[in-house]
Amino acid sequence: MTALTGRQLMRAKEEYASAVVESMSHQKALSYLYQIIYNDVSVLGGVDLEKKVRRQFGDDFYDDMVRDITKNQDGSTHQRRDLDSLS
């Protein structure tokens, strides 16, 4: 067995990552991406999450999201934002 190092190891990792992504169904890829993004914010407190959301999507998005979340007193999840308008 050949132990790769340096640039060869980096290329092997890139090839592996490409193969994994290409072998995923669209739904599996979205699920995986969602988990990565959620993990990124899962450790944030309220202030840091607010800063991140405002920086990424703007004040109106954050304010609407908070309004929807705090309006639902029964613990149900808020309605998801229309992200198409943000592109």
3-state secondary structure 24-58: CCHHHHHHHHHHHHHHHHCCCCHHHHHHHHHHHHC
Confidence category of residue 75, pLDDT binned at 50, 70, 90: low
pLDDT, position 5: 94
Confidence category of residue 8, pLDDT binned at 50, 70, 90: very high
pLDDT, position 27: 96
Tell me the percentage of the chain whose pLDDT exceeds 70: 82
What is the rounded (10 degree) CA torsion for 49, 37, 60, 76?
A: -90
Instruction: Report the phi/psi class of residue 34: left, alpha or beta, with left for phi > 0 and alpha for psi in -120 to 50.
Output: alpha
Q: What is the pLDDT averaged over residues 2-16? A: 96
Number of neighbouring beta carbons within 10 Å of residue 64: 16
Please state the pTM of the whole predicted model.
Answer: 0.66
Domain extent listing, the chain: 1-43, 44-74
